[in-house]
Structure 1
């Protein structure tokens, strides 16, 4: 087996590893939709209660107006002179008038009654000690100001709520002549309204509750489907990423439209090109499974070291590897990765050794291929030079251009490579050792 991988050191170039999270449909539903249902129910309850209260007061006021009219007609019939004098302000309530009011109260089952003139003075009251007193409360002032009947909620001495109903009394010409104040307990009509209101609230409330339960179950199922599909897509994405270079994945993730929209760019980088020496002969003399196992072993250690030193594997070409080391310090990292690979190859299963070529120069990075099968890779003369340097490298050797190699490389030499009319100045590492080819 190969020598173990050394503990990775922090890299200046971090790989783009963005794992897509499933859309939080259930969380959004619980945070927004269900509270919306609750708010709707509260608003519905408030509106219905408000409407019921308005209806109750309206009914009480309408009844009070009718009772006031009935009382006025009855008193005018029983004591017409006293009634006329009372309305004209020419006298106080007489015994006959008090008797007439008392008879009407008994007839209508009223507990209390007051009648005010236009100055707010009590012309008649079921409580004799209040006659002649002046009232300045807001409800009475509103009626005297022409706002129509007004209702106010007060409490009796025992704490029970009741309505004070202020009703204008108009003569035949529509002129305000007096104000009647009647009292009604709130329990009877309010109880009727509650019995009518509760079903009006319960039916839509239950329907909304049922709808919320159904939607919750549907959203829960949908969230489960989203989670399963997201996990499947992420797993597929991770598997697909193992077949692609890091730059390819990054370009695809940041592209908005079609892959053809990914712009090509020209820049300077350091290329790493490795190839197994004598791999064809090795394949002919070994079983296919042994060949594949050895190739995977060698490829694994190369990818590990290239990644550990901040490189990006552009592609695997049979038994060859093409990688890029971007950045100003790309050359130093490429050399370090190549040396680490050759060091680990010493401990590998016996087999063909690796020849590595290193070259720094200008390349074009972009999408190449047909619309239905593309590759995101580097092209250019620098790629060809790196491949040719790998060809002239012996097994276990690194061949780099003279300008790229550091002091640990051997002396400069001139080599001729296929496809180039001019010779190249290169240096080898390690220098002056026996070939393992």
Structure 2
């Protein structure tokens, strides 16, 4: 059996390919989606939080523009913040800044003026220092920043650098928030946003695997049924018919072909009389045994059993040594029938010539067989053979490796004008 036949008869490995191709892709997509959702959610939350911080900076600015407007404007352009905080308005401004930190729930607050000068810091001893940090410089250029930092007491904080909106003096504020506060918000959004699609993909994978597993069982079952059907059908058809059907699958109608072949035709002598005197069960048993010996002999020599017609067997052989193999099959069949001591003997006719192998019949009922004058001649030679005898045309015998004795003669064959030279073996 060819590799093509094996792949045709084997069930499609749906489950194997699903687990080798689809599941890894699904797992990869799950990881990618989980990663993107997690990082995307974190980025989105941080962006929102920075916008909130920018709004807080605007709130502080607007609050100071009210009652502390003069002192606040002076502080923004001051080179020395402590000079502003010395007078009454400045001290009130300082108290207002402390109040804003408490009211907004900030851990710390820094306000940067020109050149990175700290106009205000919750750590008031740092007021007046210059701090040209990367976060400040980025915020000064309009890029808000969130930096994780560890405080002196060991707690983690987020430094949020934002430029005060609608402020002509390029004031930058640095707001400190506890990490756990922002992380709590992040987890409330990230966990559902990440787990839900990942869980859906995992459940989808399990569901598809179960569905594919059931589909694979159904495919295997149907393939086994088709295989069993094919084996039973092959018992009813010739090898040539099966091969032609496979070759023509998906390619349209079956095609006929003309070939050179040796035809073997066997027939049981006195079978009609035997049937009259035996039960149907005994007739079938005898036929199975007698025809089985002929069929086995033909197949051992590489021949193809075309059909069984009642008590007759029609077979053909192809190839350069077709006649030799047909003769050996006939000799072996008669030898086995004789050894089996069957009630009736068989006569065999062999003839070589051109035949057509293909389908005949109506559109809705066809037969696949060998057709041609050579088949008719082989049938006539079989009719001329006695029980336990082989009748073969002399041309076919000449191409055989035959060492035994034969009786040569010329006979007239029905349907042919010229007599035929034959040999009786």
TM-score, normalising length: structure 2: 0.83
> Which range moved further: 393-402 or 154-163?
154-163
Q: CA deviation at 1:385?
A: 1.3
For the residues of structure 2 that align with 1:382 and 1:324, how far apart are their CA atoms?
Answer: 10
Alignment of 1:25-424 (within 5 A): 25-31=14-20, 38=27, 41-73=30-62, 83-88=72-77, 90-94=79-83, 96=85, 99-100=94-95, 101-127=97-123, 128-129=125-126, 131-137=128-134, 139-147=135-143, 149-156=144-151, 160-171=155-166, 175=168, 177-195=170-188, 197-199=190-192, 218-256=211-249, 261-405=253-397, 406=400, 407-409=402-404, 410=406, 412-424=408-420
Q: Specify the SS of the correspondent of 1:403.
A: helix
- Residues 200 and 21 of structure 1: CA distance in aligned 2, closer, same or farther (over 3 Å): same
* Preserved contact between residue 311 and residue 323 of structure 1 (Cα < 8 Å): yes
Q: Which runs of 5+ in 2 are unaligned?
A: none
Higher relative contact order (CA 8 A, sep 6+): 1
For the residues of structure 1 that align with 2:41 and 2:74, how far apart are their CA atoms?
Answer: 41
> Which range moved further: 111-120 or 412-421?
111-120
Q: How big is each residue's C-alpha offset from its partner over 1:50-70, in whole Å with a ceiling of 9 and x where there is no partner? A: 343234213422332233234
Q: Specify the SS of the correspondent of 1:153.
A: strand
Q: CA deviation at 1:161?
A: 3.9
Query: What residue number does 1:20 align with?
Result: 9
For the residues of structure 2 that align with 1:404 and 1:201, how far apart are their CA atoms?
Answer: 83
Q: CA deviation at 1:256?
A: 3.7
> Which range moved further: 366-375 or 206-215?
206-215
RMSD in angstroms over aligned alpha carbons? 3.4
- Residues 211 and 134 of structure 1: CA distance in aligned 2, closer, same or farther (over 3 Å): closer
For the residues of structure 2 that align with 1:115 and 1:206, how far apart are their CA atoms?
Answer: 45
For the residues of structure 2 that align with 1:264 and 1:192, how far apart are their CA atoms?
Answer: 78
* Preserved contact between residue 16 and residue 250 of structure 1 (Cα < 8 Å): no
Q: CA deviation at 1:411?
A: 5.0
Q: How big is each residue's C-alpha offset from its partner over 1:67-125, in whole Å with a ceiling of 9 and x where there is no partner? A: 32343345566765664344225435547269444454344343323233454454443
- Residues 179 and 343 of structure 1: CA distance in aligned 2, closer, same or farther (over 3 Å): same
- Residues 279 and 160 of structure 1: CA distance in aligned 2, closer, same or farther (over 3 Å): farther
For the residues of structure 1 that align with 2:345 and 2:127, how far apart are their CA atoms?
Answer: 120
More helix by share: 2
Q: Specify the SS of the correspondent of 1:163.
A: strand
For the residues of structure 2 that align with 1:14 and 1:227, how far apart are their CA atoms?
Answer: 19
> Which range moved further: 41-50 or 74-83?
74-83
Q: CA deviation at 1:412?
A: 3.4
Q: Specify the SS of the correspondent of 2:273.
A: helix
Q: How big is each residue's C-alpha offset from its partner over 1:137-196, in whole Å with a ceiling of 9 and x where there is no partner? A: 2x433322233x222334445665432211102445xx4512111111221243244245
Q: CA deviation at 1:331?
A: 1.9
> Which range moved further: 31-40 or 373-382?
31-40
Q: Which runs of 5+ in 1 are unaligned?
A: 1-10, 430-437
TM-score, normalising length: structure 1: 0.81
